Amino acid sequence: MKLTLSVIKADIGSIGGHVAPSRRLLDAVEAFIHNNGIGLVTDYNISHTGDDIAILMTHTRGEGNEAIHKLAWNAFLEGTAVAKKQGLYGAGQDLLKEAFSGNVKGMGPAVAEMEFEERPNEPFLFFAADKTDPGAYNLPLYLAFADPMNTPGLLLSPHMSKGFKFVIMDVSYTEGDRVIELNSPEQLYDIAALLRDPERFVVESIWSRASGEQAAAVATTRLHNIAGKYTGKDDPVMLVRVQMNFPATGEVLTPFAIGHFVAGGMRGSHQMPLMPVAVNTGISYFDGPPIVSCAGFCVHDQMLTERVDNFAHPFWNEVRDHVSRKAIEMRRQGFFGAAMLPMGELEYTGIMEKLNALEKQFAVRPAAVPVPA
Ligand code: F6R
Ligand code: MG
Ligand code: MG
């Protein structure tokens, strides 16, 4: 029987601003899944990354399953009641629709799911990012799955040498899922041409060309496409299968040492470097910096091992210091140029209102009359 991994995450309220959920909130979500997941999910793991709570579940019902999605939705509703009772900031913020309608996709929570035949040993990574959007994973995925400078497995493993298929979504298209499939290495430059624009083109999934198996699934939700306006950054989750025909754990983690600049941070409207952090880390400097956590698991007969916390390792302390320096350096230029996101990506309308008001005050100066010689 095929295994399905489903991770569904939402921001339903946090302490002290958009920082971290309360213990009671996490306990309420966990208790709900524990009590109501019987017969639905085989195993689960609850964690938070910044202000977002993620429910990772194993089951056999396939992707987009109504009962599984409803379980997570109801857990978040239950949590929202607790968040309201505690007066948490942004209680229920990511639950954008009133009533559940079959699938949480398009309702606010972010979803990443994969259905596959379990390998005899099945290691996988669960990434969660806060204060950024799904394009934050473009660069690490490109490097891990398509660049032999990062991933020696592309040269060393005969299976991986056959390359990977990238499914990339145009997230600015709101009428439906507009996707393109491109193969590495042949179409490397085409893949790069799209992925360099992470606010528009986002990796949705990656597939092994040797076996046809799925290697990665990314949540591609853009909250402002649902709400018609920004209601918060999308804070994406991602699942990546590792080892054997897929990149090794270390090959997938390595690109995160760059601390690349991503959209997010303060008021979801800036460019800030992405900091790899331990699972269950909160938010701080400049409502950021944007953070990403990575929990590693093995799964067997749909049962999860305990998680290993990949970015808790001492190696990442140096990376975090580097990211802090990059963040402070960028913040020195305040709202100027590259520090703040372009107009279309700002979470607030204040600048547009100011520009519209100023527009009326502009005047075209009469052309200078040439003075006769
Ligand atoms: C994401 C996040 C931010 C906020 C945004 C709006 O986790 O917290 O994207 O949603 O900064 O913040 P407020 O509520 O202060 O307007
Ligand atoms: Mg938030
Ligand atoms: Mg968040």
- pTM of structure: 0.96
> Which is the closest atom of ligand 1 to the Cα of 268?
9
From 44, 137, 142, 230, the catalytic residue: 230
Reply yes or no on whether the pLDDT at 222 is more than 80: no
> Which residue among 94, 233, 235, 270 has the greatest number of ligand 1 atoms within 8 angstroms of its CB, and so is best to mutate?
233
- Whether ligand 1 lies within 6 angstroms of the CB of 133 is answered as no
**Interval 283-314: pLDDT, tens:** 999 999 999 999 999 999 999 999 999 999 99
Look at ligand 1, atom 11, and give the residue with the nearest C-alpha. Answer: 267
Owner of token pair 């999910």: 41
- Whether ligand 1 lies within 6 angstroms of the CB of 30 is answered as no
Contacts of 303 (CB under 8 A, 6+ apart): 42, 43, 58
pLDDT of residue 175: 84
Q: How confident is the model at residue 29 (pLDDT cuts 50, 70, 90)?
A: very high
**Interval 235-268: pLDDT, tens:** 999 999 999 999 999 999 999 999 999 999 999 9
- Whether ligand 1 lies within 6 angstroms of the CB of 232 is answered as yes
Look at ligand 1, atom 4, and give the residue with the nearest C-alpha. Answer: 232
pLDDT of residue 85: 98
Distance 93 CA to ligand 3 centre (A): 10
- Whether ligand 1 lies within 6 angstroms of the CB of 94 is answered as no
Walk across the sheet containing 3-10 and list its strands. Answer: 43-49, 52-59, 3-10, 110-116
Mean pLDDT value across residues 132-137: 96
Q: How many CB atoms lie within 10 A of CB 231?
A: 18
Domain assignments of the chain as residue spans, ordered by start: 1-117, 123-298+313-354
Per CATH, which fold does 1-117 belong to? Answer: Alpha-Beta Plaits (3.30.70)
Look at ligand 1, atom 5, and give the residue with the nearest C-alpha. Answer: 267
Which of these ranges, 36-50, 112-126, 151-165, 216-230, has the smallest mean pLDDT? Answer: 216-230
pLDDT of residue 105: 85
Task: Report the C-alpha gap between 162 and 133 in whole angstroms.
Answer: 30
Q: What percent of the chain clears pLDDT 90, i.e. is strictly above it?
A: 85
